[in-house]
């Protein structure tokens, strides 16, 4: 188990490595990865320039590896995984993989970003980049075709450079795995609207595994997704200079268990160092193109900046985006819970453009409806993330249900959410299972849906009054302890959760492995930070796993084939937090092979 003390020791060891005191080698990476390569935990890696992992190659990064790139103005060193390449970065609770700058001392938070680049992954999933899009590429269409785009923040070496392209026709594409990865102090600004985010995901398929990801400080967005069907689980995003979680070009995936802590990374304008929207969703480019963003987000805790106008929307909606938000917490927002953002995003070409659904109709149309404007040839296969739900008011293309909204005090905080039926007169709406607890100004934390939250004294950054979060126990409390509904049973992605927000009342999954923990922001639960159960049931040899699905797991399944239940009996997922049917069989063998 890694606790705050062991994280501090890890940080100290890393600092010595930079100074050349320890035995760790300092490896400068200055060439593209063209053959399968492993970066090992006994080295510290420094990215010298834009590094690409090229098609056919897999970059494996061992648990505990540190990639600490020399800090430069406008972040020169960066890592990009091209279409047809893979990254296998499987950290663990005890040994996370850290991408950071050489200025990180692993102990103290700094007001900094833009010191190195980011991690960019490009895949072959469907994207919307049709006629009328500012990023249009000749040959693209406005339907679900073989559309491609050039990745934001990457500079092509020549016209039609394949290394910066993403998109295609394979929603099951597999770009590898990111697990227990902390990304800190990154970003790069090439020009207005052309920046590197903390983690950029372009056209990524659902075969890619992304869980336990942290973004701490970034000059642009925290995580940005362009199209594809990638699913994300356990994401923690802090002090982002633009949107914390941003979606474009028809993302059709799922996300569960998230924490967004809005703040600032630099003393710069909003969107370039000071946080903008907590979650921003664009539907398609242009807005009548397909696929259109149609996603499901469960169990997110979103903590804004409470001063008036300090942060923009809790949820911003553009270009026909459709999202089901369920079992979430939105608190301390500086502006609106629901921000109808067409004027900022697409002008007249937003909701309702060219016969698409109007903004109000999107909130009252069943999730099973698909657009007849530039339709996909097989819409049932393209749109699989959303569900009917099992709580009041669920089953629509756009919804925020079974959630808690707390201490959102702007005068217009609930104006648009009232109009869309999320809230009623700025208060609770039982018809949507939504709760707005009363705010006791004599005890401002009474009724708070998390256990505790502490902020620094107010400062002015980018002309905004900011109160940075410096202490948090994000476990569910009060109205968040129990939800009305639950994630879809039988869905292979979602985990059982009967509470609202990203954390149950007895768990704190950011404790023990994150920068937030190292910098002293995380209040450990009673009993300290405890390693969670193995997130991948197919990693079953030895009992509890060893961080990857490998030959040991395959041999164990083969040797125990047909026997009674063991650690490797994991098929099917019973939908109640349990796995298996009592016998090791062909389904278990296929599970190991498919996750190898």
Q: In whole angstroms, how far apart are CA 235 and each of 18, 276, 298, 300?
A: 28, 18, 12, 9
| Residue from 577, 581, 383 nearest 486 by CA | 577
Contacting residues for 578 by C-beta, under 8 A, at least 6 apart: none
The secondary element (H helix, E strand) that includes residue 557 is helix 551-559
**Quick check: helix, strand or coil at residue 300?**
strand
pLDDT, position 588? 84
pLDDT, position 593? 86
pLDDT, position 532? 76
Return the residue matching tokens 């909204």: 405
Q: Tens digit of pLDDT for each residue in 240-257?
A: 999 999 999 999 999 999
pLDDT, position 134? 78
Angle between helices 586-594 and 551-559 (to 10 degrees): 170
Q: Tens digit of pLDDT for each residue in 185-195?
A: 999 877 666 78
Q: How far apart are CA 469 and CA 232, in angstroms?
A: 24
Return the residue matching tokens 């937003």: 350
Domain boundaries, the chain: 4-518, 534-596
CATH class of 534-596: mainly alpha
Q: What is the mean pLDDT of each run of 10 residues along the chain (596 residues)?
A: 43 42 78 98 97 98 97 89 98 97 98 96 97 86 96 94 98 98 92 83 98 97 98 98 97 99 97 95 92 98 96 95 99 97 64 94 98 94 98 99 98 98 99 98 96 98 98 99 96 96 97 98 92 70 67 86 75 59 84 82
Q: How far apart are CA 4 and CA 382, in angstroms?
A: 44
pLDDT, position 535? 54
Q: In whole angstroms, how far apart are CA 440 and each of 332, 471, 501?
A: 14, 21, 21
pLDDT, position 543? 59
Q: How far apart are CA 511 and CA 257, in angstroms?
A: 14
């Amino acid at each position: 188990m890694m606790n705050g003390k062991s994280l501090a020791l890890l940080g100290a060891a890393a600092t010595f490595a930079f100074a050349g005191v320890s035995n760790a080698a300092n490896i400068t990476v200055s060439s593209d990865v063209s053959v399968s390569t492993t970066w090992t935990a006994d080295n510290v890696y420094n990215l010298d320039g834009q590094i690409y992992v090229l098609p056919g190659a897999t970059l494996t990064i061992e648990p505990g590896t540190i990639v600490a790139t020399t800090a430069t103005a406008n972040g020169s060193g960066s890592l990009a995984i091209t279409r047809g390449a893979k990254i296998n970065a499987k950290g663990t609770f005890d040994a996370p993989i850290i991408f950071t700058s050489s200025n990180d001392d692993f102990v103290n938070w700094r007001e900094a970003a833009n010191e190195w680049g980011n991690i960019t992954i490009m895949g072959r999933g469907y994207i919307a980049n049709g006629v009328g899009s500012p990023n249009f590429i000749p040959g693209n269409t406005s339907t679900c075709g073989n559309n491609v785009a050039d990745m934001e923040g990457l500079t092509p070496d020549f016209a039609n450079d394949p290394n910066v392209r993403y998109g295609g026709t394979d929603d099951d594409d597999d770009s590898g795995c990111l697990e227990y990865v902390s990304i800190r102090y990154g970003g790069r600004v090439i020009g207005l609207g052309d920046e590197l985010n903390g983690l950029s995901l372009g056209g990524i398929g659902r075969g890619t595994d992304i869980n336990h990801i942290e973004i701490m400080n970034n000059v642009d967005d925290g995580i940005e997704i362009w199209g594809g069907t990638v699913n994300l689980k356990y994401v923690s995003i802090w002090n982002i200079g633009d949107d914390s979680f941003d979606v474009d070009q028809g993302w059709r995936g799922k996300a569960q268990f998230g924490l967004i802590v809005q703040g600032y990374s630099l003393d710069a304008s909003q969107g370039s160092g000071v946080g903008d929207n907590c979650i921003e969703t664009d539907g398609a480019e242009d807005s009548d193109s397909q696929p259109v963003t149609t996603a499901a987000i469960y169990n997110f805790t979103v903590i804004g900046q409470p001063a008036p106008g300090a942060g923009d929307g809790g949820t911003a909606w553009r270009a026909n985006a459709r999202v089901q938000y369920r079992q979430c917490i939105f608190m301390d927002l500086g502006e609106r819970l629901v921000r109808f953002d067409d004027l900022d995003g697409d002008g007249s070409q937003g909701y309702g453009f060219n016969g698409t659904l109007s903004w109000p109709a999107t909130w009252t149309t069943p999730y099973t409806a698909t657009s007849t404007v530039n339709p996909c040839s097989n819409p049932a296969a393209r749109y699989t993330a959303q569900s009917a739900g099992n709580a009041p008011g669920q089953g629509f293309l756009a919804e925020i249900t079974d959630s808690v909204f707390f201490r959102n005090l702007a005068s217009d905080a609930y104006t648009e959410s009232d109009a869309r039926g999320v809230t009623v007169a700025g208060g609770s709406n039982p018809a949507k299972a939504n709760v707005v607890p009363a705010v006791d100004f004599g005890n401002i934390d009474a009724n708070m849906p998390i256990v505790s939250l502490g902020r620094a004294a107010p400062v002015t950054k980018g002309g905004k009054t900011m109160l940075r979060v410096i202490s948090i126990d994000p476990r569910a409390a009060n109205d968040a302890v129990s939800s009305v509904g639950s994630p879809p049973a039988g869905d292979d992605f979602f985990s059982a959760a009967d509470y609202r927000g990203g954390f149950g009342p007895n768990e704190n999954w950011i404790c023990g492995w994150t920068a937030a923990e190292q910098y002293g922001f995380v209040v450990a639960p009673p009993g300290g930070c405890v390693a969670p159960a193995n997130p991948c049931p197919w990693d079953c040899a030895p009992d509890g796993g060893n961080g990857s699905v490998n030959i040991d797991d395959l041999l164990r399944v083969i040797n125990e084939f047909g026997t009674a239940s063991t650690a490797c009996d994991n098929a099917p997922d019973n939908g109640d937090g349990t796995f298996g049917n009592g016998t090791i069989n062909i389904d278990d063998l296929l599970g190991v092979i498919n996750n190898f």
